[in-house]
Amino acid sequence: MAKYWHVIGVGIQNNLTYRFNFLARTLFGFIPLIAVLYVWLTIYSGKGQGAMVGSYTLAGMISYYLLTTIVDALTAVNEDDWQIAADIKDGNISQFLLKPIDYLIYRLCLFFSGRLTYLAVAAVPLAVFVFCLRKYFVLPPNGITFGAFLLSVILTALLQFFISYALAMLAFWVLEVSTFIFIVFAFEYIASGHLFPLDILPPGLAQVLYFTPFPYQLYFPVTVYMGKVEGVELGKGLVVQLAWVLAAYALARFMWQRGIKKYSAVGG
Amino acid sequence: MTKPSHSNPTGAPGSPEPNPQTPSLGGLSSAGGWSRYPRIYAALWRNSVTREMIFKSNFLLWIVVELLWFGLQLSFIGVLYLHTDHIGTWTKWEVILLIGASHFIQQIFQAFFLINCTNLSELVRTGKLDFLLLLPVNTRFVVSLRQVDLGAFVNAVSAVGVMVYAARQMHLVPTALQVVAFLLLCLAGIVIHYSLMFLLASISFWTVKAQGIVWGYYNLFQIARLPDEAFRGVFKAIFTFAIPMLLVTNVPVRLLVNKLSSPGPLLLLLVMSVACFLVSEWGWRASLKRYTSASS
């Protein structure tokens, strides 16, 4: 175990060199967020006092977007997928085949340290931003909900990571993985609730999306926080999310096993 | 939305490494003045075509990626209009026309300039800029236009398709004059995008890690495709007068759908495009003075 703690330590140090990048990313990220909030504000004011969109009041809608930003900061893969693909392409994984170190766990440690550093940089601007909008920001209904939210966020992070890892494994077979990553990311972007809460979609469509892993990559933890899933539904949701995490993990392991058979370290 | 490097489906890591030595400019005499530039540019085009043809499947896949992201923006608007009939005074088809126009402007900008702007930091980091500085042509010209992204033209066509469809839904038949004026205003918008992006890319002379900043600019594109009436206060002022994103697409589309009440915004867009270009030229020159090449 000690070696992986060491990896996390090194990962944090490496990521700290990108602190300026992280800060720029956080601050630039606020611009489209503010823009979307303005659009919603205009829509709500056009509808008159006390208007609702789906089940959302104006405060609910703004909270939704703030929460997606927070969950995203906590769980999104940053450069991990590109780096893994590059490791494979450049033959850097050869050294891991010789060392008593598991590449997946190694990358997971780096992902963890990356998120930790990102949060350290993004926490202050994010907190200031939420504070400015505090009159629209709802708090979780009770402690249990908040606990379930935290659990769900951890599962979300694992799901994000394993899916990205499995995708990056394509680098064993194709020279250029970025197109595949962007295609999957496009689906994820809309079906995970990045653009809008999924329950303002026509019910049939929202139901279909629930059969994919995408809502569990963002939408699910946010709705847990907002108290939209409770009791049995909450338990069921967490089980399904866990199932997707395990499935993605199995896929990641499987792709690695298959890939390594095909692997030839070119110039490595 | 905090993932700019992901939300920008283009020019990402992995596009084939450009080789600055490929343009065959050798046979051109340096005495030719401005008349030789079209010939130089034609040579750069030929190189780009060759490069794209080496990675055909990749070329096609990028087009698919762009189409998907375009569809995504359209579906976002579709969902918004399930719950409202108007954003400010903008109706559904007007906003779809706006998204189409924004995509059109962005793709044309991308076709000519985007890769070249993002590559600048790489040229500075590796010292390859030396080679371009020594060429007997305007350096900004060759840095800005070295590579052409041909896939972007295909995507620009899809944007035009959406605009035409939206116009038909509105029973909008613009006059020839309107269309010409629209295209001219789009050109002004492209100049704004290019100037701001080039200015940002010039920061790589001061800090080599400028690539993140350049990608940050992509977040600004997202504002350019939203109806200006949604915005107020400081935000609106900044993105009209300092970083004129709210003019780039909104003004040409307003002209097309007869939503302009005065010629004011029109003049503002033109003035801002000239101003942005001048500022970027000043920034480029100031930055170039700092260039010390790489120890190679």
Cα–Cα distance between A28 and A24 in angstroms, integer?
6
A192-220 pLDDT, tens digit per residue, is 999 999 999 998 998 999 999 999 999 99
Token pair, residue B253, equals: 């589309």
Cα–Cα distance between B125 and B296 in angstroms, integer?
11
Smallest Cβ–Cβ distance between B88 and the set A42, A178, A183 belongs to A42
Mean pLDDT of B54-58: 82
Mean pLDDT of chain A: 90
Distance from CA of B250 to the nearest CA of A (A): 15
Smallest Cβ–Cβ distance between B75 and the set A36, A179, A190 belongs to A190
Domains in chain B: boundaries: 34-288
Torsion of CA A180, A182, A183, A186, to 10 degrees: 160
Distance from CA of A2 to the nearest CA of B (A): 32
Q: Describe the crossing of helices A80-89 and A178-191 by its angle, rounded to 10 degrees.
A: 160
Token pair, residue B141, equals: 């010209």
- CB-CB contact of B286 with B201 (8 Å): no
Cα–Cα distance between B148 and B29 in angstroms, integer?
24
Which residues 6+ apart lie within 8 Å of B244 measured at CB?
B192, B268, B269, B272, B276
Q: What is the pLDDT, as a whole number, of residue B215?
A: 67
Task: Give the helix, strand, coil percentages of chain B, each rounded to 5.
Answer: 75, 0, 25
Cα–Cα distance between A182 and B66 in angstroms, integer?
9
Q: What is the pLDDT, as a whole number, of residue B295?
A: 60
User: Model confidence at A3, in pLDDT bands (50, 70, 90)?
Assistant: confident
The half-sphere exposure of A254 on its side-chain side, counting CA atoms within 13 A, is 8
Q: What is the pLDDT, as a whole number, of residue B23?
A: 45
- CB-CB contact of B1 with A29 (8 Å): yes
Distance from CA of A190 to the nearest CA of B (A): 7
Smallest Cβ–Cβ distance between B58 and the set A28, A34, A179 belongs to A179
Domain presence at residue A267: no
Does the structure show a pLDDT above 90 at A27? no
Torsion of CA B39, B45, B46, B51, to 10 degrees: 150
Q: What are the two backbone dihedrals, phi and then psi, of residue A196, each rounded to the nearest 5 degrees? A: -160, 155
State pTM to two decimals.
0.87
User: Model confidence at B158, in pLDDT bands (50, 70, 90)?
Assistant: very high
B230-244 pLDDT, tens digit per residue, is 998 899 999 999 999
Comparing C-alpha atoms, which of B238, B233, B243 is closest to residue B275? B243
What number of C-beta contacts closer than 8 Å exist between A and B? 131
User: Model confidence at B208, in pLDDT bands (50, 70, 90)?
Assistant: low
Nearest CA in chain B to A21: B212
Mean pLDDT of B42-56: 86
Smallest Cβ–Cβ distance between B2 and the set A25, A42, A187 belongs to A25
Cα–Cα distance between A233 and A239 in angstroms, integer?
10
User: Model confidence at B26, in pLDDT bands (50, 70, 90)?
Assistant: very low
- CB-CB contact of A129 with A48 (8 Å): no
Mean pLDDT of chain B: 84
Q: What is the pLDDT, as a whole number, of residue A235?
A: 93
B180-206 pLDDT, tens digit per residue, is 999 999 999 999 999 999 998 887 777
Nearest CA in chain A to B8: A182
Which residues 6+ apart lie within 8 Å of B271 measured at CB?
none
3-state SS class at B289: coil
B271-282 pLDDT, tens digit per residue, is 999 999 999 999
Q: Which residue has the higher pLDDT, B127 or A193?
A: A193
A124-141 pLDDT, tens digit per residue, is 999 999 999 988 888 888
Contact A179 B55 (CB under 8 A): no
* A19, A20, A27, A31, best to mutate vs chain B, most B CBs in 10 Å: A31
A223-254 pLDDT, tens digit per residue, is 999 988 888 999 999 999 999 999 999 999 99
Percent of chain B at pLDDT exceeding 90: 49
Please list every residue in chain A whose beta carbon sits closer than 8 Å to the beta carbon of residue B204: none
Mean pLDDT of B53-62: 84
Mean pLDDT of B18-45: 65
Contact A21 B209 (CB under 8 A): yes
In sign, the C-alpha dihedral spanning A190, A193, A196, A198 is positive
The total of structural domains in chain A comes to 1
User: Model confidence at A153, in pLDDT bands (50, 70, 90)?
Assistant: very high
User: Model confidence at B169, in pLDDT bands (50, 70, 90)?
Assistant: very high
Nearest CA in chain B to A191: B72
Nearest CA in chain B to A56: B83
Nearest CA in chain B to A72: B2
Distances (CA, A) of B91 to A29, A102, A126, B82: 27, 55, 33, 12
Distance from CA of B154 to the nearest CA of A (A): 17
**Cα A159 to the center of its chain, rounded Å:** 8
Full residue range of the structural domain in which residue A108 is found: 2-262
A164-176 pLDDT, tens digit per residue, is 999 999 999 988 8
Span of A180-189, B155-164, B286-295 with lowest mean pLDDT:
B286-295
Residues in a beta bridge with A140: none
This model of the complex carries an ipTM of: 0.86
Distance from CA of A130 to the nearest CA of B (A): 15
B81-93 pLDDT, tens digit per residue, is 999 988 989 999 9
Please list every residue in chain A whose beta carbon sits closer than 8 Å to the beta carbon of residue B210: none
Distance from CA of B218 to the nearest CA of A (A): 9
Contact A25 B68 (CB under 8 A): no
User: Model confidence at B101, in pLDDT bands (50, 70, 90)?
Assistant: very high
Q: What is the pLDDT, as a whole number, of residue A266?
A: 58
* A15, A34, A43, best to mutate vs chain B, most B CBs in 10 Å: A43
Please list every residue in chain B whose beta carbon sits closer than 8 Å to the beta carbon of residue A36: 1
Does the structure show a pLDDT above 60 at B135? yes
* B2, B98, B228, best to mutate vs chain A, most A CBs in 10 Å: B2
Smallest Cβ–Cβ distance between A31 and the set B14, B207, B219 belongs to B219
- What 8-state DSSP symbol labels residue A176? -
Contact B212 A21 (CB under 8 A): yes
Nearest CA in chain A to B222: A32
Mean pLDDT of B238-260: 92
In sign, the C-alpha dihedral spanning B217, B219, B225, B229 is negative
The half-sphere exposure of A175 on its side-chain side, counting CA atoms within 13 A, is 10
Contact B2 A24 (CB under 8 A): no
Contact B212 A25 (CB under 8 A): yes
